[in-house]
């Protein structure tokens, strides 16, 4: 039943909604639809939002083979290559004005990674060599301009001078390095290596996986640390439940693509530990809580956390055969249907609900971080997995 239900939501809700967000006049996709469903056609267009939409339509096409979907992927690709990529200093901007002028010229490593992820999938869908070439250019940007020691820094100016990482730092800290950026570099390089088979990409991909195991994962706390200084020392006691369950399946995907039995044997126990800890610690009332700082749990339910929990628990079920994981995934989907899917016409999903399932009316339906990447990917992952 889970497969059929998520496929129905993809076809009846997520896909038509995001098709309707296409800006046919100025390119790309609209950047803001508020909670009351008022469209702001002149709102800033986040480059992460556009990349994630490009990834989404490319992958729905790859799964369904519906040629009409390529129109929407092409539209996102044209906006990205025409406006979002910096032709002078390289890399991708943080955000654009509604009509395609640079609005925030910050070059963030996280953002470069998402563009790679999207362009690699678009290449897989279209075999457009230009897209793969752009993805490889961004790989070289990260590797030559976004490095901090052996790893990766976070925020840079337009000309790649280090800048304060206020965009991906939270909880009253400013981090030199983050687990989140490293995770999405891993995700992006996995897709780039899968479609391009470049040995330099493979080498750095292996490094990211080993970095998770050696410096991000805490075996004693059974979690990934979140924010770090330049020497990879954790600077806050924070357990991000959503990122841990997301990492548990994303890194599994990386291991499958790398196909290195020794590396898989080393890393897999970490991934099982992450999934088991989330099931036993963060799964409550048929849903997964947001995070815990200094042991204090934030009970808010966030749309993307529920999506990643479904994939992560189904993945853990496939790896272990433990039915508790699958039962949890099914219950989370029922929770989503009850509390997250907006019943109003021409809407999609709420962003957050409180512990009683009441949506936060201050949070938009569409904004630079609210997109079809998490819920669309969840649907696609469940549809294609065999269980």
- DSSP letter string, 211-275: HIIIIIEETTTTEE--EE-TT--B-S-EEEHHHHHHHHHHHHHHHHHHT-HHHHHHHHHHHHHHH
Place of tokens 């966030």: 302
Domain of residue 134, residue span: 2-384
Return d(Cα 152, Cα 235) in angstroms, integer: 17
Residue 171's pLDDT is 83
148 strand-pairing partners = 151
Measured over the CA atoms of residue 197, residue 181, residue 95 and residue 147, the dihedral's sign is negative
36 alpha carbon, distance to own chain's centre: 25
Q: Which pTM value belongs to this model?
A: 0.98
Residue 317's pLDDT is 98
Provide the residue-wise pLDDT of the chain in tens; the chain has 387 residues.
999 999 999 999 999 999 999 999 999 999 999 999 999 999 999 999 999 999 999 999 999 999 999 999 999 999 999 999 999 999 999 999 999 999 999 999 999 999 999 999 999 999 999 999 999 999 999 999 999 999 999 999 999 999 999 999 888 899 999 999 999 999 999 999 999 999 999 999 999 999 999 999 999 999 999 999 999 999 999 999 999 999 999 999 999 999 999 999 999 999 999 999 999 999 999 999 999 999 999 999 999 999 999 999 999 999 999 999 999 999 999 999 999 999 999 999 999 999 899 999 999 999 999 999 999 999 999 999 998
Q: Tell me how crowded residue 270 is: count the other CB atoms within 10 A of its CB.
A: 19
Residue 56's pLDDT is 98
Backbone angles phi, psi at 385, to 5 degrees: -80, 150
Return d(Cα 69, Cα 57) in angstroms, integer: 6
Q: Closest Cα to residue 329, out of 266, 275, 293, 255?
A: 275
Length, in residues, of the chain: 387
Residue 331's pLDDT is 98
Residue 172's pLDDT is 85
Q: Which residues contact 383 (CB under 8 A, 6 or more apart)?
A: 3, 6, 7, 10, 63
Q: C-alpha distances in angstroms, 268 versus 93, 216, 316?
A: 35, 15, 11
Q: C-alpha distances in angstroms, 120 versus 51, 52, 96, 198, 298?
A: 11, 12, 22, 12, 35
Strand-pair category, 147-148 with 296-298: unpaired
Residue 53's pLDDT is 98
Return d(Cα 114, Cα 92) in angstroms, integer: 10
CB 340 within 8 A of CB 352: no
Residue 387's pLDDT is 86
Number of structural domains the chain divides into: 1
CATH code assigned at 30: 1.50.10.10
Residue 170's pLDDT is 81
In order, the DSSP letters of 89-149 are T-SB-SEE-TTS-EEE--EEHHHHHHHHHHHHHHHHHH--HHHHHHHHHHHHHHHHHSEET
Q: Is 272 exposed, middle or buried (0-12, 13-18, 19+ CB in 10 A)?
A: middle
């Amino acid at each position: 039943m889970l497969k059929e239900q998520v496929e129905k939501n993809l076809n009846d809700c997520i896909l038509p909604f995001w098709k309707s967000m296409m800006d046919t006049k100025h390119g790309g996709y609209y950047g803001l639809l508020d909670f009351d469903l008022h469209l702001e056609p002149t709102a800033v267009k986040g480059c992460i939002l556009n990349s994630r939409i490009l990834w989404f339509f490319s992958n729905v096409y790859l799964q369904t083979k519906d040629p009409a979907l390529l129109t929407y992927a092409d539209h996102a690709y044209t906006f990205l290559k025409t406006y979002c990529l910096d032709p002078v200093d390289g890399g991708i901007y943080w955000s654009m004005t509604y009509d395609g002028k640079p609005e925030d010229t910050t070059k963030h490593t996280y953002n470069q990674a998402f563009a790679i992820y999207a362009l690699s999938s678009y290449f897989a869908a279209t075999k457009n060599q230009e897209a793969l070439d752009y993805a490889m250019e961004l790989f070289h940007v990260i590797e030559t301009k976004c490095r901090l020691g052996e790893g990766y820094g976070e925020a840079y100016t337009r000309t790649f001078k280090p800048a304060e990482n206020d965009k991906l730092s939270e909880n009253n800290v400013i981090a030199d390095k983050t687990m989140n950026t490293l995770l999405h570099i891993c995700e992006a390089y996995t897709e780039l290596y899968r479609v391009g088979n470049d040995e330099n990409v493979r080498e750095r991909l292996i490094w990211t996986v080993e970095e998770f195991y050696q410096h991000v994962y805490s075996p004693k706390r059974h979690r990934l640390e979140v924010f770090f200084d330049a020497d990879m020392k954790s600077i806050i006691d924070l357990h991000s439940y959503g990122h841990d369950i997301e990492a548990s399946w994303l890194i599994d995907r990386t291991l499958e693509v790398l196909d290195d039995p020794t590396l898989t044997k080393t890393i897999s126990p970490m991934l099982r530990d992450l999934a088991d800890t989330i099931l036993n610690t963060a799964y409550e009332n048929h849903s997964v809580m947001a995070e815990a700082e200094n042991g204090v749990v934030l009970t808010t339910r966030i749309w993307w956390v529920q999506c990643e929990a479904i994939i992560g628990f189904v993945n853990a079920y496939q790896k272990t055969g433990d039915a508790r994981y699958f039962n949890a995934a099914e219950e989370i989907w029922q929770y989503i249907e009850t509390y997250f899917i907006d019943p109003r016409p021409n809407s999609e999903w709420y962003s957050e609900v409180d512990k009683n399932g009441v949506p936060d009316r201050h949070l938009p339906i569409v904004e630079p971080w609210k997109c079809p990447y998490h819920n669309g990917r969840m649907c696609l992952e469940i549809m294609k997995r065999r269980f």
